[in-house]
Amino acid sequence: MVVLVTGGASGIGLATARAFAREGARVVVAGRSRESLDLAVAAVREEGGEAMALPCDVRSEEQVERLVSQTVSAYGRLDIAFNNAGVSLVGSLSEFSAAEWDEVVSTNLTGTFLLMRAEINHMRENGGGVIVNNASNAAHMTLPLLAAYSASKAAVLSLTRAAAREFIVQDIRINAISPGPVDTPMWAHRPDETPEDRRERMAAASPSGRVGTPEEVADMVLWLASPAAAYIAGHDLVVDGAMSS
């Protein structure tokens, strides 16, 4: 089993890469920084799986095409892709710059499109595969100061459903996952907030009274990618402790 995880150097991506490695997968960990990718690959190998780092900025068409072709050259195939790389920029829409908008949309939405296109073109020649796109419960509800992020993730869901319908005939199962608040480096950018304060604030937003863990999301990605979910396609699995219900 060959698995590609983008944004695999940290947070949910790293937890998912480790979980696939525990299942014996060969895992390609993709991301922007060579240094953090090397650390991530060492952590994934500790789980007993085989792993390789491939630098890739998912906003670049050329780099994404290269990522998938290098994966196939190195490991012979691509069975499962977790399109997880994403960014969130917080701010009022009235003050959001066009450059900030572009950064969010080009990473979260265009990146997912570019990855899916390259992955599908390989998988359809290879007899099928599984794709899981990381959306967010912010696609289902409004959250303060996250309009661009929410819009980009809602579009990821729409893209997921459309592609699922088109490619199921070629045995490519495409689904999304929508986590609620998970304490990862994504939210660690407020200089005025300690990690404890951050966790408390995020937990208070969820009716469950706690944040999710990267491992809880990873487990659901593995389930969606498994034969147990063989008849599930075009679905969005919300993992948010009822926050968006």
- Footprint of ligand NAD on this chain (CB under 6 A)? 6-7, 9-13, 31-32, 56-59, 84-88, 107, 134, 136, 179, 181-182, 184-186
CB 149 within 8 Å of CB 136: yes
Strand, helix or coil at 129?
A: strand
- Bridge partner list, 182: 212
Residue 10 CB, nearest approach to ligand NAD (Å): 3
Cα 226 to Cα 115, 127, 138, 229, distances in angstroms: 20, 16, 26, 6
Residue 170 CB, nearest approach to ligand NAD (Å): 26
Q: Which is nearer to ligand NAD, 43 or 168 (CB)?
A: 43
* DSSP summary character for residue 236: E
Q: Which is nearer to ligand NAD, 154 or 168 (CB)?
A: 154
Q: Which is nearer to ligand NAD, 25 or 148 (CB)?
A: 148
Residue 217 CB, nearest approach to ligand NAD (Å): 8
Q: Which is nearer to ligand NAD, 31 or 241 (CB)?
A: 31
Residue 59 CB, nearest approach to ligand NAD (Å): 5
Residue 161 CB, nearest approach to ligand NAD (Å): 18
Catalytic: 231? no
Strand, helix or coil at 229?
A: helix
Q: Which of 220, 230, 243 is CA-nearest to residue 82?
A: 220
Q: Which is nearer to ligand NAD, 163 or 221 (CB)?
A: 221
Catalytic residue selected from 149, 177, 221, 229: 149
Q: Which of 54, 165, 169, 170 is CA-nearest to residue 115?
A: 54
Task: Give the tokens for residue 21.
Answer: 């490695």
Dist CA 237 CA 217 (whole Å): 10
Q: Give the DSSP per-residue string, 21-88.
A: HHTT-EEEEEES-HHHHHHHHHHHHHTT-EEEEEE--TT-HHHHHHHHHHHHHHHS---EEEE-----
- Active-site amino acid positions: 149
